[in-house]
């Protein structure tokens, strides 16, 4: 299953609501959302300050399912979000050996 790292910054309104309701309520919501599409919330950590408010790691059945999850999360609760597909060292080694015809400009 594809794995993703999700970094997100909440809007000030959303962050205020989370502080009132408690952070565990968001973890429960994230877990339920992932499980509803056959995925899994691997871990989520909240940041006390900085660029991001949380970093989460999810397993999903496919890239398309992850896109559906990201659309479901597009509610205006986030100022910004970054997604990164994660690969194991073995997967990267396999990809590293694929032949390509790329040439740098001017070479």
Kindly state whether residue 96 falls inside one of the protein's structural domains.
Answer: no
At 51 the pLDDT is 92
Interval 34-79: pLDDT, tens:
999 999 999 999 997 789 999 999 999 998 888 888 887 788 889 9
Kindly state whether residue 107 falls inside one of the protein's structural domains.
Answer: no
CA distance 63 to 78: 21
| Helices 23-36 & 63-72 angle (0-180, nearest 10) | 140
At 72 the pLDDT is 76
CATH number for the domain spanning 34: value is 3.30.70.920
Answer whether residue 15 shows pLDDT above 80.
yes
> Chain-wide mean pLDDT for the chain?
91
The answer, as to whether pTM is greater than 0.85, is no
Range of the domain at 39: 3-90
Kindly state whether residue 24 falls inside one of the protein's structural domains.
Answer: yes
At 67 the pLDDT is 87
Q: In which element (H, E) is residue 78 found?
A: strand 78-86
């Amino acid at each position: 299953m594809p794995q993703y790292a999700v970094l997100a910054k909440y809007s000030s309104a959303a962050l205020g609501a989370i502080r009132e309701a408690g952070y565990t309520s968001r973890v429960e919501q994230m877990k339920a959302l992932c499980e509803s599409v056959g995925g899994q919330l691997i871990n989520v950590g909240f940041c006390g300050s900085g660029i991001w408010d949380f970093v989460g790691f999810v397993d999903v059945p496919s890239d398309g399912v992850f896109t559906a999850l990201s659309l479901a999360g597009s509610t205006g609760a986030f100022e910004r979000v970054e997604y990164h597909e994660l690969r194991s060292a073995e997967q990267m080694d396999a990809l590293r050996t694929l032949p390509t015809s790329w040439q740098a400009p001017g070479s």
